Structures are given as C-alpha cells and as structure tokens.
Structure 1
Amino acid sequence: MTAPTKAKQAQALVRRYFDACNAADHQALLDCFTSDAVHYFPPGLPGAPWRGAKAIADGWVWCVKTLGSRWTIEKVLAGESGREAVIEWTHWKTATGEVLRGDEWYVFNDDTTRIAEIRAYYASPVNKAEPVNKLHDFDYEGRGYAMAPPSAAPKLS
C-alpha cells in the first residue's frame, strides 16, 4: 500500500476539519490547526480574524450552538506539494434560515498535518435580507451543489 500524495493528504485534512466543524468537536478542531493558526474573514465579522487554534475552535462551536451551523464542501483543489489548497463551501445557518457560499485558501504546515492559515472569501456580500446568499444566476443545483444542509445541527448545551 502506498502513502497518500501530499495533495490527497491536504484534501483529507480539509475534510477532517469540516467534519469536526459539523460535529462541533472542539478537540478535533484543535487537532486540525497549528497553535498559532489564523482564520481571516471578509469585513463585518466581529472579532475577526480568529487567531489561534482555540479561537477558531471556539468560534465554530459557537456557530453550531447559536446558528445551527452546518457546512458542506463543494469543491477541493490541493497543490501537489500539499502546502496549499482552495475549496468552495456552503455554510448553512439552520437556526436563522441563512445560507452563505464562498471560497477559502488554505496554507498548511510543512508536513501537511495541520492548517496554519485560512483566508475566507464570500461569494457575495452578506445580505441579511436574503435567505440564501449566492452568486447571481449561478446554477448551484444544476452543477451538483448541496441544496440542503448535510444533517440537522446537533443539540449542544
């Protein structure tokens, strides 16, 4: 059996991170990041950027508890070296009925075992008056994108 390529290792790490987000698993989230990782966001998110693995884990657990957040990965591309990847995602805020789509650029540590940096880009400016934030006239359903959350948000106390 051969070892996975660095690109496949990077893709697996991103998927593990999203699984940890959906599970609101604080420890699993911590395990995905370098201790000094930074998650950058577009303007408007209070407290952004999130600096450090703990801040990132705390932020996503809060989103699941408060917003009923669920995430799907639509596309993943990883560089051959395993040092960088880009993804397209959907963030389902089931408690508020909002949907946000966007992309993220990932930078990994040298051995592609942890995420060192994420730079998030939204598909469009967040418009709170719209229940689904998306690109104008883009056929999400026709291109095979998720049209509903992957599952109900877990009940967390």
Structure 2
Amino acid sequence: MTAEAAKAEALIRHYFDMCNAADLQGLIECFTPDAVHYFPPGLPGAPWRGAKAIAEGWVWCVETLGSKWTIEKVLCTADGREGVIEWTHWKTAIGEVLRGDEWYVFNDDISRIVEIRAYYASPVDKSAPVNKLQEFDYEKRGYHLSPPLVKGRA
C-alpha cells in the first residue's frame, strides 16, 4: 500500500470514529467546507451539502436512531485521491441494520473528504430486522454481526 492510500484509509477510519462518537466538530473537520454526501433516493433532505450539514446529519442519527457504524472493507487508489468502503449502519434505537458501500473523493493533500456517494445493499425494508444482500454470508466473510461498543455510549 502506498503512503497516499494509507493516508486516505486513515481519514476514512477517522471519519467513522467521529461518526460513532457523534463528534460534531471532529466530523466537520473531516470535510472540505463545500463537501457533498449523496444518497440513494428516498432520504429526505439529501444530498447533504456542506461539512456542517453532513456532520449535523450524522450527529442526529446517533442521537435519534442510536446509529453506530462499522467498516467492513476498504480499498483506496494508489494516489490516495479516491477510495471505496463497505459498511454496516446499526440503528440500535429502532432495531434496523443497513449495509452498503460508499465512494470517497479527497482533496489534493488527502486531508479532507470532498464527496461521498452512498449505495445501499438493498432498499430499506422496515419489516426486516436486518437489511442486507440476499444470500450473502456476512458471518462467513467475517463481517460484524453486532454494533461496536463505543466508549461512553450504550
């Protein structure tokens, strides 16, 4: 792995740490001021535009939905300018689990996220306890089967 790819991966992992901690300022600092987070159709208010709006959106999810996230896989380009991850979003307060991918674009020095494009594994099915790919063996592949324990949060 190149130093640039490692820097991009470290930024993604830091961003997820800030999401799980519901750290508003830490989240804002992960993005360029004009960053955009795109989502599949159906999420009210999407896309989220601007570092502050993105940060506030994830803090709201933690406070309202009991959101916690795990990163399952990470791939970054050798030059560190782009990356893609596979994630799990645990909505512990409402008993939902969503899996998906995100494509990342970084600024020139790989210090901030410019853009995220999220793709869900499946349409959200409110009647399903876990939203996931049909017949994909998450356990066998080593994916998390429960939300992370986050220091200071239930």
Indicate whether 1:129 and 2:127 are aligned.
yes
Indicate whether 1:64 and 2:62 are aligned.
yes
Q: How many residues align?
A: 152
Indicate whether 1:118 and 2:111 are aligned.
no
Indicate whether 1:33 and 2:9 are aligned.
no
Correspondence 1:46-61 to 2 at 5 A: 46-61=44-59
| Secondary structure, aligned partner of 1:6 | helix
Q: TM-score, normalised by structure 1?
A: 0.94
- Counterparts of 2:119 and 2:16 in 1: how far apart (Å)? 16
Q: Which amino acid aligns with 1:127?
A: D
- Counterparts of 1:131 and 1:115 in 2: how far apart (Å)? 32
| Secondary structure, aligned partner of 1:13 | helix
> Which digits, 9 at most, give the CA deviation of each residue in 1:105-151, with x for residues without a partner?
00000000000000000001111111100000000001000000002
Structure 2 residue aligned with 1:12? 10
- Counterparts of 2:127 and 2:45 in 1: how far apart (Å)? 23
Equivalent residue in structure 2 for 1:86, among 70, 73, 84: 84
> Which digits, 9 at most, give the CA deviation of each residue in 1:74-126, with x for residues without a partner?
00000001100000000000000100000000000000000000000000111
Q: Which amino acid aligns with 2:52?
A: K
Alpha-carbon deviation of 1:53?
0.2
- Counterparts of 2:61 and 2:135 in 1: how far apart (Å)? 28
Alpha-carbon deviation of 1:154?
2.5
Q: TM-score, normalised by structure 2?
A: 0.96
Q: Which amino acid aligns with 2:38?
A: Y
Q: Aligned-residue CA RMSD in angstroms? A: 1.2
Q: Which amino acid aligns with 2:54?
A: I
- Counterparts of 1:151 and 1:90 in 2: how far apart (Å)? 14
Segments of structure 2 that go 5 or more residues without pairing to the other structure are none
- Counterparts of 2:64 and 2:71 in 1: how far apart (Å)? 21
- Counterparts of 2:61 and 2:153 in 1: how far apart (Å)? 11
> Which digits, 9 at most, give the CA deviation of each residue in 1:31-76, with x for residues without a partner?
1000000000000000000000000000000000000000000000
